[in-house]
Amino acid sequence: EPEVTQTPSHQVTQMGQEVILRCVPISNHLYFYWYRQILGQKVEFLVSFYNNEISEKSEIFDDQFSVERPDGSNFTLKIRSTKLEDSAMYFCASSEALVAGIYNEQFFGPGTRLTVL
Amino acid sequence: KQEVTQIPAALSVPEGENLVLNCSFTDSAIYNLQWFRQDPGKGLTSLLLIQSSQREQTSGRLNASLDKSSGRSTLYIAASQPGDSATYLCAVKRYNQGGKLIFGQGTELSVKP
């Protein structure tokens, strides 16, 4: 069964460093998302991406964050200068269509645990 | 602003019991509602998706209902098993918001053998 994959599973970085989190969405999906979950808190939406453009972003997704689909399979989240409060589990998700019928179910990857020291 | 709440925060039941998890949301203008399972330190597994026009969805021992007008959804688990132990999350998608899911805080379920 097709699944969303993410690498690395765990990333440790120093405050102020840049990190890139990678995701391979399900191959026929057109919509891509990043969410994060700080330990003990709710899963929070960061950004959605379609047709090589950001569709929507949250207040969390400030200028330190960027997303890119560098090729036909990968979807990346970059944090330019990490802060301690960026420590969280980051989830990538994808869906086949945005709103059409039953095909808008979002499928999540296993997550990347980011630890900022 | 849409708020999603799940009650209870934690639930412990003996194996074999039928149980109900609750999810409520403040704004009824939703497009759909999705239930997920999350195992400790792991990703989210989609269990059921209910469109706003539907009243319920079933998958195996799971049945999810939706009452949009009252802002409620329930996840019914029949004949619970220890393997059902996990955190269960509900999330809603609002109209005219590019795919964004708004999550509840989850119900941590423990099924004792």
Given this model, what pLDDT does residue A100 score? Answer: 55
Given this model, what pLDDT does residue B76 score? Answer: 97
Q: Which residue has the tokens 């997704």?
A: A61
Tens-place pLDDT, residues B42-60: 899 999 999 888 999 999 9
Considering only the beta carbons, identify the residue of B32, B34, B98 that sits closest to A55. Answer: B98
Given this model, what pLDDT does residue A101 score? Answer: 52
Tens-place pLDDT, residues B23-41: 999 998 888 999 999 998 8
Residues of B in contact with A47 (CB under 8 A): none
- Residues of B in CB contact (< 8 Å) with A are 31-32, 34, 36, 41-46, 49, 51, 89, 91, 93, 97-106
- Phi, psi angle pair for A58, to nearest 5°: -95, 175
Query: Amino acid identity of A29?
Result: H
| Distances from the Cα of A112 to the Cα of A77, A89, B25, B41, B52, angstroms | 11, 6, 28, 10, 32
Considering only the beta carbons, identify the residue of A48, A107, A110 that sits closest to B99. Answer: A48
In angstroms, the CA A17 to CA A81 distance is 5
In angstroms, the CA B43 to CA A90 distance is 9
Given this model, what pLDDT does residue B97 score? Answer: 62
Q: How far is B73 from chain A (nearest CA, A)?
A: 17
Given this model, what pLDDT does residue A106 score? Answer: 92
In angstroms, the CA B20 to CA B90 distance is 13
Considering only the beta carbons, identify the residue of A42, A48, A105 that sits closest to B100. Answer: A48
With 0-12 / 13-18 / 19 or more C-beta atoms within 10 angstroms meaning exposed / middle / buried, residue A53 is: exposed
- Interface test mutation site (partner A, options B44, B92, B102, max chain A beta carbons within 10 A): B44
Tens-place pLDDT, residues B68-108: 999 999 999 999 999 999 999 999 998 766 689 999 999 99
The DSSP code sequence of B8-34 is -SEEEEETT--EEEEEEES---EEEEE
Given this model, what pLDDT does residue A73 score? Answer: 87
CB atoms within 10 A of CB B107: 21
Given this model, what pLDDT does residue A99 score? Answer: 59
Alpha helices in chain B (DSSP H): none
- Interface test mutation site (partner A, options B35, B96, B100, B103, max chain A beta carbons within 10 A): B100
Residues of B in contact with A43 (CB under 8 A): 44, 89, 91, 101, 103
Contact A91 B91 (CB under 8 A): no
**Which of the pair, A35 or B100, is modelled with greater confidence?**
A35
With 0-12 / 13-18 / 19 or more C-beta atoms within 10 angstroms meaning exposed / middle / buried, residue B12 is: exposed
Averaged confidence pLDDT in chain A: 92
pLDDT higher than 60, residue A71 = yes
Considering only the beta carbons, identify the residue of A45, A99, A107 that sits closest to B31. Answer: A99
The DSSP code sequence of A88-114 is EEEEEEEES-SSSGGGG--EE---EEE
- Phi, psi angle pair for A85, to nearest 5°: -75, -5
Given this model, what pLDDT does residue B94 score? Answer: 82
Given this model, what pLDDT does residue A28 score? Answer: 86
Q: Which of A26-30, B43-47, B61-65, B76-80 has the lowest mean pLDDT?
A: A26-30
Given this model, what pLDDT does residue B96 score? Answer: 65
In angstroms, the CA B21 to CA B8 distance is 7
Strand partners, B101: B93
Q: CB contact, 8 Å: A115 with chain B? A: no
Given this model, what pLDDT does residue A117 score? Answer: 96
